[in-house]
Structure 1
Amino acid sequence: MYRIAAIALLTLILFTTGCQKEEASNIHSPDAVQVPDSQEIYYISPQGNDLNNGTIQSPWKTLQHAADHATPGSTVYLREGVYHQKVKITRSGNSPGNPTLFSSYPQEKAIIDGEGLSVRGIEGLIEVENASYIAIQNLEIRNFTTTLRGQVPTGIYVHGAGEHIQILGNIVHSIANDAKPSGPDLRGRDAHGIAIYGTEHPQSLRDIIIKDNELYDLVLGSSESLAVNGNVDTFAILDNTIHDTDNIGIDLIGYEGTSEDDNYDQARNGIVRGNEIYNVSSNLNPSYGTPLPNDSNSAGGIYVDGGKNHIIDHNRVYRNDIGIEIASEHARRSTSNITLQDNLIFHNRLTGIAMGGYDEERGSTVDSTMMYNTLVQNDSLGTGNGQLFMQANTKNNTFKRNILVSGSSDVLIYNEYTSNSGNVFDHNVYYSPGPQDEALWVWKNNQYSGFKAYMKDSGNDAHSRYVNPDFIDEDNQNFSLTTDSPAEGYGYQGSR
C-alpha cells in the first residue's frame, strides 16, 4: 500500500540508518550526524572573538562568522552558553555524508536566543538559504518574537532550493507574533517553529530530514508549528514532539504561491512518522476571531493542505482541535495519494480524521487510503462531527481496517455531502459505549441509528463489525488490544 512516489525517500532513510528491514513501515529514522575523525572542527563561544582562529582554545564568537568562514563539510561546535544572534547559512557542505554541521558541543547546551532581535519579513534565528548538505543539531532556539504585522519570526527557516538538509534533536520554543491581526481575513500575524519553503523552480528543496525535535509554546497566528510548503520533494518528519501551540502542528502545503510555478508549488513525497502531537488549539488565537476564547477549534495536529504522495503513519495525535486532516483549501486543487496508516488518534475536540474541502467551493481529497488507524472518543465537544468527518469533494478514497469508538455524541462517521463519490468503506470495527441502537452514522445527509441500518442503506462496510474492541487500559490511554480482542487485525497495533 506504499506508493512508488515515496521510494526515493525510503532509500534515503535506509541509506542514512543502515536499516535492513524488509517492510517499509518498519524503517527507522536516522541517528545524529556522525563526525568523521578526519573532519575539520571549529568552535564558537560566547566568550570568543571572531579574530581568533576558531580552535577549542581560541574560539570564534558569532555563528555568522563561522557560517561564512568554516570549511565546507566541517563541524562547528557551539560551546555552552546563550547566543543573542541570528545566522544565515548560504554555503553548502560537501556531500550527503560530509555535511557542514552546526551543533552544541557534546554534553553542553548552546542556546540561540532571539530576545530583543528584530524580525524582517519571514526570517529565521537559524536560516538556510539556497544551500545543500547542512545539518543543525542539538540546539535550543527560543525567544524570537515580534508585535508587528507582516513580520514572520521563525526558529529554523530553510528556503530556496537545495538538498540533504537535516534538522535533528533541537528544542524550539517561545517563537511568537503577538501583533493584532487586521482585515476581514484577520491576516498579518504569523510565525513558525520550523519552516521548509521551496521557493524556486524547477529546482526543489529535497531530501530533508526533521527528526527528534521538540516544538512548543509557539504563538503562530495564521501559520504552523512545522510547515513544509511549496516546491519540496522527498522529506521525512520523524519522531518529533509538538505541543502547546495556537495553530497547526505539522502542515504539508501546496498551491499557496510559495513557488511561482504552479506545476512545482506542492509539497510531495513525504513521510510523517512516529511524531507525538498534543494540546494544539486555535481557541486562544485572535487570527481566528475575538473575543477569546473564540471556540474556533480549527487547528489540526497533522494537516495536508494540497500536498500529494505522503505516508503518514505511527503518529500519536491527541487533545487537539482536529486529529489529522487531509484536505485542500484551494478551489479545483486536490490533496491526493495520501496513505494514512497505523495512527493513534484520540480525545481531539472536533473530530479524529477530517477530509475534503470545508465547502463545495474548495478543493478535494482524492485517491487516498486510510487503514489500520485507531480513533477513540474524538468529537469530545459532542457537536456530532464524529470520528471521521467527511467534508466536500471526497472522491475515490479507501477506508479499511480501522477501529472507531465514538464519544458522547455517539456519531462514528459524519458525511453530509451527496456529491462525495467512489469512496470505499469496508472491514472496519465500530463501537459506541452507549446502547447499540444509539450509535449514529450520517451518510450523504441521511442519519442512521444502529449499525445494521447504516450498513443496509448506505451500501458501505459489508464485512465490517460492530463490537467492543477491548483495549488494555483505555482510562490510561493504552489502546493496545487484549490478547483475545475481537478487533485483532484492525486498528493501530504499533510497529508492523
Structure 2
Amino acid sequence: MMGCTPNATFSFALFGVLVGLIVSSPVSAVSCQRAGDTIMANGFEQSPQQAFYVATNGSNAGQGSATAPWKTIQYAVDTVAAGDLICVRGGVYNELVTITQSGSAQAGPILLQSVPGETAVIDGTGLPIPDGQYGLLTLIDASWITVQGLELRNYSTASTANVPIGLYVTGAGTQIRLIGNHIHDIHTTANGCAANAFGLKVDGTRAPQSINQLSIHGNEIHDLTLGCSESFSLDGNVENWEISANRVYDTNNIAIGAIGFEGIAPNPAFDQARDGAIRENTIYNISSFGNPAYGNEYAADGIYVDGGTRILIERNLVHHADIGIEVASEHAGRTSSDVIVRNNIVHSGNSAGISIGGYDSSVGGSLRVDIIGNTLFRNDQANTGSGEFQIQYHATENRFINNIVHAGTAGYLVNAFTTDSSLPVELDENLYWLDAGGQAAWVWQGVEYASLAAWRSASGQDANALFDDPEFLAPAGFDLRVQPGSPAVNTGINLGAGVVGTSDFAGNLRVMGGAIDIGAHER
C-alpha cells in the first residue's frame, strides 16, 4: 500500500501557475458608454475605442449610436474594431451570429453584451444549421472577445446530419470570456447516438495553436435535449481554462465535459482538454434515462473528464445526476490523467457518486486521480449497485482519501468490481456510514464484504478509516456540514495545499490549526 503522502508523480504545483493565468473573478456587466469613458473589462482598465448599439427597431444604415442603433448583431460584430463595445438592446433577434474579428492586447477585447437591465435574445426558431454543426453564436479563430449577458434559445433539429449549438467556440484563440449568458432549449429530436446537440461547445481544432486563456463564468444552461452529446463541453486543443460558477440543470445527458482523443485537433499530441479548472458550479437534474440514445440507462454525468489531463475539479455541488463526477477515457489505451477531485458535494444521484476507470474492459481508464475531501451522500438512488464510489477498468495510481461516504439503504460504499488491477486505488482516512435499515457493503476485486474490518483485511486499504455517523447538521435538507462533535473533525490527513486546496466547499480555510476535517466542509 502506498503511504498517504503527496504523490510525487503529480504535477499539481502547475495548477497554481496555469489557473492563475485566468481571470478567476470576472467583473460584472459594464455600462454601455461612449468613447473616452473608462470601463473595466477582463480584469484591466480599458478606454473603449467606441461603444455601439444594436436594437430590434434599428437600421444597419444608421451610425450605431444610442439614438441611431444598428438592426442586426451580425452587422455590429462585422463592423467594430478591437476595443469596441457592442451594446445590444433588449428584444428578440432571429439571426445566427458569427464572430471572426478579434480584439487585441493593446486596444482591449471586443465586448458583446446586453445593455445592463435589458436582455438581448438570440432566438433560433426556424433558422438553418450551416455546415452540419453551428451555433446561434459562433466564434471562429477569434481572440480577445467577451460575450456577456445574452440569452440564446430555441435552436433544434430532427436530423442526425445537423448539430445545433447554443454558443460555439472553434478554431484557435486566446482571451475569451463567456460570462453570465443564459442558454436553453437547444434540442435534437433525432434518435440514436448519431443525434447530437450542445448548449455550449468549445472545440480546439488547430495545432499547435490552441484555444487558451478561456473563462466560462456564471452562465445558466438548461432544458437541453442532447442525444449523445454534452450540455457543455471542451474538446481538442483547449488549454489554460476555467469553468466557474455556472448552473447547469434539466438536461438529458452530461452536464460539463472535458474531453480528449476524439480527433478534434489535427495533431494527436494536442488533442486533449488540459490545464484547467472546474469549480464552484451547481449541477442538478441530469439524466440520460429515457434519452433515445441511451434508453433506460443512468449514464449521464454531472462532471465528466473523458481523456483530459491536469484538471482540477473543486467546490462543485452535484445532485440528482445519474453519476456525480466521472474521470475516465472512452478510448482504448488512453486515460484521463493527473486530475484532482476535491472539496465537492455529490448527493442523491441515480447511480455512482464518483466513478473512475473505463466503463468496459475495451476502453481506456484513469491514471493518477486524487479524490480528496469530498462528501458523498445517498447516491445510487436507482439501486444500480454502482455505489457511492465506483472503481472500473484500467484504474491506476489513484487515491481516495479524507472523504465522507454516506450510503442510503442500498449500502454500497465502495465498489471495485473489476479484477484487471491488483491496486487500482489507494484508500485511507475515509469516514463511512449508511442509513438505518441498510447493510454496509464494500466490493474489492469483485468480492463483497459486509464490515470495515473485512474490507480492510481483504483490500489492504483504509487502515485509518472509520465507520461512524458523520453527524451532519441537517441531512434531510442536505445541509451536509458536520456538528462540532463529529468524528470527521480534525481526523483527516493533510496532504498539502497543492492537493487538499486552501478553501473548503463553502470557501472557508481548508486547514485550521494545522488539522483538516474529513469531507468537503471544514468545521
TM-score, normalised to structure 2, is: 0.88
Distance (whole Å) between structure 1 residues aligned to residue 367 and residue 210 of structure 2 = 24
Distance (whole Å) between structure 2 residues aligned to residue 129 and residue 10 of structure 1 = 24
Q: CA 1:144–1:209 in structure 2 vs 1: closer, same or farther (change >3 Å)?
A: same
Q: Which amino acid aligns with 1:158?
A: V
State which of 20, 26, 31 in structure 2 corresponds to 1:11. 20
Distance (whole Å) between structure 2 residues aligned to residue 461 and residue 375 of structure 1 = 17
State which of 150, 153, 156 in structure 1 corresponds to 2:161. 150
Displacement, 1:252?
A: 0.4
Match of 2:197 in 1: 191
SS for the counterpart of 2:385 is coil
Match of 2:239 in 1: 233
Distance (whole Å) between structure 1 residues aligned to residue 227 and residue 505 of structure 2 = 36
Match of 1:62 in 2: 72
Q: Which amino acid aligns with 1:267?
A: A
Match of 1:282 in 2: 288
Match of 2:431 in 1: 429
Contact kept in structure 2, 1:383 and 1:409, CA below 8 Å = no
Q: CA 1:447–1:198 in structure 2 vs 1: closer, same or farther (change >3 Å)?
A: same
Residue deviations 1:135-171, cap 9 Å, x none? 0000111001111212111110000001011000010
SS for the counterpart of 2:409 is coil
SS for the counterpart of 1:454 is helix
Match of 1:364 in 2: 365
Q: CA 1:345–1:53 in structure 2 vs 1: closer, same or farther (change >3 Å)?
A: same
Distance (whole Å) between structure 1 residues aligned to residue 19 and residue 100 of structure 2 = 27
**Which stretch of the first structure deviates more once superposed, 254-263 or 418-427?**
418-427
SS for the counterpart of 1:251 is strand
Residue deviations 1:365-397, cap 9 Å, x none? 011100000000101112321100111010000
Distance (whole Å) between structure 2 residues aligned to residue 69 and residue 97 of structure 1 = 16
Match of 1:291 in 2: none
**Which stretch of the first structure deviates more once superposed, 330-339 or 115-124?**
115-124
Q: Which amino acid aligns with 1:67?
A: V
Residue deviations 1:188-224, cap 9 Å, x none? 2111110000000110000100000000000110110
State which of 261, 267, 270 in structure 2 corresponds to 1:261. 267
Q: CA 1:472–1:493 in structure 2 vs 1: closer, same or farther (change >3 Å)?
A: farther
Q: CA 1:277–1:96 in structure 2 vs 1: closer, same or farther (change >3 Å)?
A: farther
Contact kept in structure 1, 2:470 and 2:482, CA below 8 Å = yes
Q: What is the correspondence of 1:345-424 to structure 2 with a 5 Å cutoff?
A: 345-420=346-421, 421=423, 423-424=425-426
Match of 2:151 in 1: 140
Displacement, 1:187?
A: 3.0
State which of 182, 185, 188 in structure 2 corresponds to 1:174. 185
SS for the counterpart of 1:368 is strand
Distance (whole Å) between structure 2 residues aligned to residue 111 and residue 400 of structure 1 = 46
Distance (whole Å) between structure 2 residues aligned to residue 33 and residue 92 of structure 1 = 20
Match of 2:254 in 1: 248
Match of 2:44 in 1: none
Distance (whole Å) between structure 2 residues aligned to residue 150 and residue 447 of structure 1 = 46
Residue deviations 1:326-379, cap 9 Å, x none? 011100001000000000000100110011011111101011100000000101
- 1:159 matches 2:170: yes
Q: Which amino acid aligns with 1:122?
A: Q
Residue deviations 1:60-86, cap 9 Å, x none? 011111111012211000011111011
Show structure 1 runs of 5+ residues with no match.
Answer: 17-27, 289-293
Identity of aligned residues (%): 37
Distance (whole Å) between structure 1 residues aligned to residue 373 and residue 64 of structure 2 = 52
SS for the counterpart of 1:11 is helix
SS for the counterpart of 2:293 is helix
Displacement, 1:95?
A: 2.1
Q: What is the correspondence of 1:31-46 to structure 2 with a 5 Å cutoff?
A: 31-32=27-28, 34=30, 36-37=38-39, 38-39=47-48, 40-46=50-56
Distance (whole Å) between structure 2 residues aligned to residue 218 and residue 493 of structure 1 = 28
Contact kept in structure 1, 2:391 and 2:424, CA below 8 Å = no
Residue deviations 1:27-55, cap 9 Å, x none? x5322365635311000000011111101
Q: CA 1:226–1:64 in structure 2 vs 1: closer, same or farther (change >3 Å)?
A: same
Displacement, 1:134?
A: 0.3
Displacement, 1:419?
A: 2.0
Match of 2:521 in 1: none
Distance (whole Å) between structure 1 residues aligned to residue 440 and residue 152 of structure 2 = 47
Distance (whole Å) between structure 1 residues aligned to residue 19 and residue 332 of structure 2 = 32
SS for the counterpart of 2:455 is helix
State which of 493, 503, 506 in structure 2 corresponds to 1:494. 506
- 1:442 matches 2:443: yes
Displacement, 1:435?
A: 6.5
Contact kept in structure 1, 2:242 and 2:277, CA below 8 Å = yes
Distance (whole Å) between structure 2 residues aligned to residue 234 and residue 92 of structure 1 = 19
Q: Which amino acid aligns with 2:185?
A: S
Distance (whole Å) between structure 2 residues aligned to residue 153 and residue 128 of structure 1 = 14
- 1:77 matches 2:83: no
Q: CA 1:96–1:372 in structure 2 vs 1: closer, same or farther (change >3 Å)?
A: farther
Distance (whole Å) between structure 2 residues aligned to residue 80 and residue 261 of structure 1 = 43
Displacement, 1:422?
A: 5.1
Contact kept in structure 2, 1:119 and 1:151, CA below 8 Å = yes
Distance (whole Å) between structure 2 residues aligned to residue 118 and residue 357 of structure 1 = 37
Distance (whole Å) between structure 1 residues aligned to residue 505 and residue 475 of structure 2 = 14
**Which stretch of the first structure deviates more once superposed, 96-105 or 393-402?**
96-105
State which of 97, 100, 105 in structure 2 corresponds to 1:87. 97
Distance (whole Å) between structure 2 residues aligned to residue 168 and residue 215 of structure 1 = 12
Contact kept in structure 2, 1:96 and 1:133, CA below 8 Å = no
SS for the counterpart of 2:25 is coil
Show structure 2 runs of 5+ residues with no match.
Answer: 1-5, 32-37, 40-46, 493-499, 511-523
Distance (whole Å) between structure 1 residues aligned to residue 384 and residue 77 of structure 2 = 52
Distance (whole Å) between structure 1 residues aligned to residue 367 and residue 409 of structure 2 = 30
Displacement, 1:484?
A: 1.6
Distance (whole Å) between structure 2 residues aligned to residue 107 and residue 215 of structure 1 = 20
Contact kept in structure 2, 1:382 and 1:407, CA below 8 Å = no
Match of 1:224 in 2: 230
Displacement, 1:7?
A: 3.4
